[in-house]
Copies of this chain bind each other. A is one copy, B any other.
Amino acid sequence: MLEQTVTMAHGSGGESTGRLIAELFAKNFSNEYLDRMTDSSVVPGSAQIAMTTDSFVVTPVEYPGGDIGRLAVCGTVNDLLMSGAVPKYLTAGFILEEGLPMETLRRVVKSMADTAREAGVLIVTGDTKVVENHSSDAKGEGGLYINTAGVGFVPEGTRLDAASIRPGDKILVSGTLGEHHATILAKRMGLENESLESDNAPLDDIVNHLRTSGAAVRAMRDVTRGGLATVLSEFVLSSGQQIEIEESLIPVKKPVRDFCGILGLEPVYMGNEGKLIAVIAPEDASKALDAVRSAKYGENAAIIGEVTGDHGEGSAELILKTPVGGRRVLGPLYGEGLPRIC
């Protein structure tokens, strides 16, 4: 039996740590590699691998549509996918604050395990540390941070590079924007808005459908912190090509639109945790759109604009065309954004 809350002893590396690992992590994450319970996991490799890491510090740790565990799996899986890799293995590093309710940890770990299964990856090794609880929240409960690092296999000939973006290419977004950001923000503000739910999801099915469709994908990025405008600004910068998007074509759910309207927020700068942008060769745009729309989490995909070309050195910009015929230059997110959104 595990204690009701996490204590410093759970991070000692001794007997308490052993029980926490056996009764919680090993049971939920079980697979042939993790089950060997070695400090390093030896797994089949590949000629080219992709590696990524992300630490997750989101507060609150549970929110409508997801939790820090689901986020930690999706974030790393999605980063691997965006490099053209097939995600294979994750590592999981837990930093727990003493006082964290064991039930919270149990739900988070179960959610990680479920999400890993959904995304087709194995959690092959892990680590647990416990730190003092300096929590300033009303309940005084401890929180947790999760780091996931991931390894994916990169098929030969894979090349995704914003530098290959060309005039005429279409901008595809895989779904509605802003849900994760709006959900976390509403929770932090203490608003009980039942129509807001995070989009927290793995993008493997969308990427697989795109790949199978045969559409020529020039570049692909998940749209996380900083939002659509930040990702597209980076595409403009690295390709030297102007990109123009139509505000009226950008999919945003009504509750998010309403929430943004009240607070003066812009969906194009809001963070997501289950959306991607793909730049597609013009002749393949409708094929790509059909592919994404038929994938899990891709039903609201849309083509929202195009690459309009090289308008002379240094002058390429990201342009938002407004419904009333205006043209607004968008830059990357500047300043704080919303801390601890992921």
* Chain A residues in the interface with B (C-beta under 8 A): 8-9, 11-16, 38-57, 79-80, 82-85, 89, 91-95, 124-127, 129-132, 134-136, 145, 147, 149-154, 221-222, 224-226, 230, 271, 332-340, 342
| A337 vs B80: C-alpha distance when bound (angstroms) | 38
Knowing A57-B129, A339-B12 touch, does A52 contact B48 (C-beta < 8 A)? no
Q: Is the CB of B52 within 8 A of A13?
A: no
A95 CB to nearest chain B CB (Å):
5
CB-nearest residue of chain B relative to A49? B45
Q: Is the CB of A82 within 8 A of B40?
A: yes
Residues of B contacting A154 in the complex (Cβ-Cβ under 8 angstroms): 42
Residues of B contacting A151 in the complex (Cβ-Cβ under 8 angstroms): 49, 51, 151
Residues of B contacting A84 in the complex (Cβ-Cβ under 8 angstroms): 42
Q: Is the CB of B131 within 8 A of A134?
A: no
CB-nearest residue of chain B relative to A76? B40
Number of copies: 2
Knowing A39-B79, A41-B51, A48-B45 touch, does A130 contact B14 (C-beta < 8 A)? no
Q: Is the CB of A85 within 8 A of B42?
A: yes
The residue that A94 contacts in the complex, of B55, B94, B222, B340, with Cβ under 8 A, is: B55
Knowing A40-B83, A83-B38 touch, does A337 contact B54 (C-beta < 8 A)? no
Q: Is the CB of A129 within 8 A of B42?
A: no
- 7 additional A-B pairs beyond A40-B82, A40-B152, beta carbons within 8 Å, are A13-B230, A14-B334, A40-B80, A42-B83, A42-B85, A42-B154, A55-B129
The residue that A49 contacts in the complex, of B43, B95, B126, with Cβ under 8 A, is: B43
Top 7 closest pairs, chain A to chain B, by CB: A134-B134, A13-B225, A149-B149, A53-B91, A40-B83, A147-B147, A45-B49
Knowing A129-B57, A136-B134, A339-B11 touch, does A43 contact B51 (C-beta < 8 A)? yes
